[in-house]
Structure 1
Amino acid sequence: SAETRERSKPKSASVCGYPISIFFIVVNEFCERFSYYGMRAVLVLYFKYFLRWDDDFATTIYHTFVALCYLTPIFGAIIADSWLGKFKTIVYLSIVYAAGQVIMAVSAIHDITDANKDGIPDNMTFHVALSMVGLLLIALGTGGIKPCVAAFGGDQFQDHQEKQRSTFFSIFYLSINAGSLLSTVITPILRAQQCGIHTKQQCYPLAFGVPAALMVVALIVFILGSGMYIKVAPQGNVLVKVCKCIGFAIKNRFRHRHSQYPKRQHWMDWAEEKYDKLLIAQVKMVVKVLFLYLPLPMFWALFDQQGSRWTLQATNMNGDFGILVIFPDQMQTVNPILILVLVPIMDSLIYPLIAKCKLNFTPLKRMTVGMFLAAMAFVAAALVQIQIDRTLPKFPSNTVGQAKFINMLNRSLSATAGTNLLSLEPYTANEEYLTFRDSFDGTRNTISISETEPTLVSSYSLVPPVAANIVLNGFGSVLNLTVNNQDYGEIVTNDMSDYVQVSHGNNVILIKNPLTEMECVYNQKLGFGSSYTLIIPSTFTFDQNCAQSINAVTDIQPNTVHMAWQIPQYFLITAGEVVFSVTGLEFAYSQAPSNMKSVLQAGWLLTVAVGNIIVLIVGAITLPVQWAEYILFASLLVLVCIVFSIMAMFYTYIDPVKIEAQFSQMEPEDKDKRKDVQKKDSVKKSRKGSSSDSDSDHEDFISSKM
């Protein structure tokens, strides 16, 4: 209404019937979604390869963060509708949001403390603490503004601009998809860059810094449009009203469970003493749909693992597609790309074809199919994981040590290591890592190793497309090492370099004698996830054939399972999303009362949060292999799918408009009856001791709640 619209200035100018103010809102949403999805795309790899967490713990923290992002929208809606209004809520929480993104970028700057020789920060507690604070602020910010921005954009239109408002929402959701798609492509590229002041490693500060900058831009752009916005004053949150009505009904029912009050047809009818029948009828419709929401979190438990387990799975795969190289965290872009393809196909081809076949493909049946497709996606992921496991090296547990023996002498050696008998040619190594559970001592002509102080090279886990080299200098002089024009310092005689992490593909290694200024160029082609040791023998000479005398020992074979094998599982889960998520939102909208659609939207977001919590619970179950966990999730979703299909069979579709119209006609009469009840209550209350104990308890309860 006109009374609730506050303007600091007259209505902003319009272009082609659209308020200019919506330009600021659309740009704000694009930048915010770029910021959120860009940061989230590289998050699980940041946990694993910067903070050095294992896969399980990285997955746990990732899904805890996502759950918080979908819990906070409820609080954002309450704050906006009850106290601050949408504009102030967006501004204040965007400041919190931007601060969180900046803190995340700072937390990834590893040169602010001394790092060890592997480039790992010594003061890791500092980085973990900053990261957790940053993620908490981001969850509060992104969740808090989520229910406000779209609604604030809708407020900018007048009642006669329904067509323009509809077009705005289409543009608005296009900006969401554009921001998420571009950020998921760009931020992994930024992450893969090498940066640092003292040590070089993957550039997480840049991968987090660009989303932080975009969030600052989003805030500035939104504030710049302040004078043009129509700002609707807070009018109370309908979600709070619904919760109070439900709470009253439950309390009233249990308060009189032993009394002689007549039974009610529906448990919500116990709220009739305080709330009118129209509101109770609306709440009944909402509760009916919310009941169907109970099985839905299991779908999101699988769906959101695209950013955790599936991304970690991709780190052990080959991303070379020939004309382009795909990073593990970039595979997430397959989902939005397939959405753009599948949505029009489903709407214009599949659904009309099903209708022509006269099949009753109701919304709830579509959602059931969507759940089943998601379960099949995890079966596909399990099959891919089985193939990957066959190609992976066997890394030791925390109680086992591994060693590779390298002969740096210009003669053959025979060696024994525990029960292992080795024969090593000059400047070669044994083909496989040897595994030891206990240290052992050696005698003359025996190579020895202890678990606490290994004397030779051990295995090293890397994220594709990064690979690694280590250089052993057997030359009789100090050498300088440069890889891809990046200086890695000196290697003294009979010593080895630190691990050098480099990109997939051909790498140029420059070996230089600092005394004679002579150089040797060596080209090493590295596959995804591979690791090599380069041996510079004592017979090494700086001439045209110098590169041929360098021996390359394979520590870890390149990944052989191609990332393209993940496309079927992405296709299945995206198809499931289209028929589950899109249909679910449409179903909730069609079955919701006119003034309570936001309540069901809040309930829908809550199912996403609960789904991520389920991942934490199921993830706590220790399984020997990853593919078994995929099968477990698929089995759970199939079970939930069966339960949901049974629930759907008993659901009766309604027309909320007709029901509301019916109760609206009864509302004046209902109000008169409630006024009579209030008068009678007042009279009875004035007569001390004239009523029974149970009656007076009821009267006190009603009078205190009215």
Structure 2
Amino acid sequence: MATSVPAQNNKFPPQIPFIIGNEACERFSFYGMRNILTMFLIQYLLLEAVPEKGLREAEAKSLMHTFMAGVYFFPLIGGYLADRFFGKYRIILGLSLVYCLGHLCLALFEDSRNGFFAGLALIAIGSGGIKPCVSAMVGDQFNESNSHLVKKVFAIFYWTINFGSFFASLSIPLLLKHYGPSVAFGIPGVLMFIATLIFWAGRHRYVKVPPTGANPHSFLKVVGSALRNRGQGKSWLDGAKREHPEEAVDGVRAVFRISGLLLPFVPFFWMLFDQKASTWVVQASAMDPHVFGFEFLPSQMQSINPALVMVLIPLLTAVVYPAFQRGGWELTPLRRMPLGLAIGAMSFIIAGIFQVQMEGGATLSIGWQFLPYVVLTLAEILVSTTGLEFAYTQAPREMKGTIQSVWLLTTTLANVAVAIASKLNVFSGSGQFFFYAGFALVAAVGMALVARRYVVRDYYQTSAPVPTEERTAAGVTAKTA
């Protein structure tokens, strides 16, 4: 009996605007508070406790990156709790309230280090915990009839993130300057409360995928089984086949393959990228803020990044990548990521040259920062947007969540490293720019060498990899980088 094919539906599910509206307000709230955090710590909270400016800047950067490490660590916990026990809707709603409480602490305890840091901790838990759930919940709202719209809705979703970031970066620093910390942190809190209300308003419309419960063939259980049954095959993982199906063991093997490519190298990019909210802001504060008659605050310069993302992604996708392909040298993901690392290093070299000139007595306009921002944003697209999609396609369905955790872990490790280096004040001035650029260049070379030996396996609907000659029939492609 022939199965019926559902009619194609070209309309977005009616609940999608609730999730997109929630994301727009939440991203405004997060980037609004984060982008003024470094300057607030330097100019307000740490002013009396750390009188020496250089040490105060180092302490502010360390605190900033400690906070960011938390933001990218808690998605591991939030995603796990949503998938296994509570479901995405409950986690998003519950942690959104924690998120709002964190914003309230920032607004109320601007003069109290303990109260303010408690607020940062709550925001890290709330923002990080909902991060993997919101994007996944978007995908849950689609079925076979409208699955062709998923790519379009995620493009809107990503554009919304940068839209919120852009306007938050422009407006919230002005509120800090003219109205003080309570208002500057309070407005993002109001936006987060509105985001929570928007999400709650769609509660009766959402498709709510139930939690799966404990997975008997999870990554950790397979690894544990392999360690208990060592020496049972050619690979140390083969011992796990005594207790787990072959697909689960192959999935764990895929996780280790991808981790070997990502974990040693990608953190060096995030060490660069996340310092636009710390080191680059400190540099901007020492520059002439006037550009063509307009005055720009140091924290406002971060708005360049989301504005450029909205322009450069379509340009690269529609023009640059096809041009390289027509020229006979395709910019594959394994070529884009090392190239992005090298380009990211160049952005820090450019900023370091500016710092050398300023240390020599030159007065530079803050407008000069536009150049390293362009270079860093180009690197972001080559590494971040490419790497996230690449990591997702390289694992079987059962291990895609684990791979996303590995990807987030690269950002956590990077921010922990920068927080420690800033706390120790290992490098200051122009030296810190060249220090991080040098590490990124070494990482770019290392990743390019490893990528040459990496065999790409794109997993689609089938869960187990098959040999190259069978890929068409099974829906799996295997190719060399």
Does TM, scored on the shorter chain, surpass 0.5?
A: yes
TM-score normalised by length of structure 1: 0.61
What amino acid sits opposite 2:169 in the alignment? T
1:150 and 2:152 matched: no
Preserved contact between residue 321 and residue 330 of structure 2 (Cα < 8 Å): no
1:452 is matched with none
1:72 to 71, 74, 80: 74
Preserved contact between residue 173 and residue 184 of structure 2 (Cα < 8 Å): yes
SS at match of 2:456: coil
1:208-223 pair list within 5 angstroms? 208-223=185-200
Preserved contact between residue 238 and residue 596 of structure 1 (Cα < 8 Å): no
1:348 and 2:318 matched: yes
Residue deviations 1:635-691, cap 9 Å, x none? 11112222212211211122435772759xxxxxxxxxxxxxxxxxxxxxxxxxxxx
1:324 to 294, 297, 305: 294
Moved more, 31-40 or 233-242: 233-242
SS at match of 1:660: coil
1:129 and 2:114 matched: yes
d(CA) in 1 for partners of 2:227, 2:213: 22
What amino acid sits opposite 1:246 in the alignment? V
2:85 to 83, 86, 94: 83
CA distance 1:584–1:211, change in 2 (3 Å): same
CA distance 1:238–1:180, change in 2 (3 Å): farther
Preserved contact between residue 286 and residue 593 of structure 1 (Cα < 8 Å): no
d(CA) in 2 for partners of 1:239, 1:178: 41
What amino acid sits opposite 2:333 in the alignment? P
2:472 is matched with none
Offset, 1:599: 2.0
SS at match of 2:360: helix
1:45-60 pair list within 5 angstroms? 45-51=39-45, 52=47, 53=50, 54-60=56-62
Moved more, 264-273 or 583-592: 583-592
1:364 to 322, 325, 334: 334
1:164 to 129, 134, 149: 149
d(CA) in 1 for partners of 2:372, 2:430: 13
Give the gaps of 5 or more residues in structure 1: 1-14, 109-123, 196-202, 254-260, 393-559, 664-706
CA distance 1:16–1:354, change in 2 (3 Å): closer
2:307 is matched with 337
CA distance 1:649–1:217, change in 2 (3 Å): same
1:192-203 pair list within 5 angstroms? 192-193=177-178, 195=179, 203=180
Give the root-mean-square deviation of aligned CA atoms.
Answer: 2.1
Preserved contact between residue 59 and residue 423 of structure 2 (Cα < 8 Å): no
Residue deviations 1:560-611, cap 9 Å, x none? 3101111121111111111111221232233221343222222111101111
Residue deviations 1:104-148, cap 9 Å, x none? 01122xxxxxxxxxxxxxxx5xx1111100000000000000011
TM-score normalised by length of structure 2: 0.89
Offset, 1:623: 4.8
Answer with 1 or 2: which has the greater Rg. Answer: 1
CA distance 1:661–1:213, change in 2 (3 Å): same
2:12 is matched with 18
1:290 and 2:284 matched: no
The alignment-based identity, stated in percent, is 35
What amino acid sits opposite 1:269 in the alignment? D
What amino acid sits opposite 1:312 in the alignment? V
1:23-422 pair list within 5 angstroms? 23-51=17-45, 52=47, 53=50, 54-108=56-110, 127-193=112-178, 195=179, 203-236=180-213, 241-253=218-230, 262=232, 264-294=233-263, 295-391=265-361
Preserved contact between residue 238 and residue 599 of structure 1 (Cα < 8 Å): no
Residue deviations 1:354-393, cap 9 Å, x none? 222212533212111100111111111111111222338x
CA distance 1:66–1:238, change in 2 (3 Å): farther
2:408 to 592, 601, 605: 605
Whose strand proportion is higher, 1 or 2?
1
Residue deviations 1:338-367, cap 9 Å, x none? 212222222222222222221253321211
What amino acid sits opposite 2:41 in the alignment? F
2:476 is matched with none
2:386 is matched with 583
1:660 to 440, 464, 473: 464
d(CA) in 1 for partners of 2:260, 2:425: 32
CA distance 1:245–1:615, change in 2 (3 Å): same
2:397 to 580, 594, 608: 594
d(CA) in 2 for partners of 1:573, 1:239: 42
Moved more, 133-142 or 612-621: 612-621
Give the gaps of 5 or more residues in structure 2: 1-8, 51-55, 468-481
d(CA) in 2 for partners of 1:361, 1:173: 22
CA distance 1:215–1:61, change in 2 (3 Å): same
d(CA) in 2 for partners of 1:362, 1:82: 35
Offset, 1:252: 2.7
1:446 is matched with none
Residue deviations 1:385-434, cap 9 Å, x none? 11222338xxxxxxxxxxxxxxxxxxxxxxxxxxxxxxxxxxxxxxxxxx
Residue deviations 1:276-318, cap 9 Å, x none? 0111112212221111112211110111000001001100111
Preserved contact between residue 78 and residue 240 of structure 1 (Cα < 8 Å): no
What amino acid sits opposite 1:44 in the alignment? T
Tell me the matched-pair count.
449
1:551-570 pair list within 5 angstroms? 560-570=363-373
d(CA) in 2 for partners of 1:251, 1:83: 28
d(CA) in 1 for partners of 2:192, 2:199: 11
What amino acid sits opposite 2:249 in the alignment? I
What amino acid sits opposite 1:327 in the alignment? L
d(CA) in 2 for partners of 1:620, 1:106: 27
Offset, 1:66: 0.2
Offset, 1:156: 2.2
SS at match of 1:653: strand
What amino acid sits opposite 1:76 in the alignment? G
d(CA) in 2 for partners of 1:208, 1:251: 51
Preserved contact between residue 156 and residue 229 of structure 1 (Cα < 8 Å): yes
CA distance 1:279–1:240, change in 2 (3 Å): closer
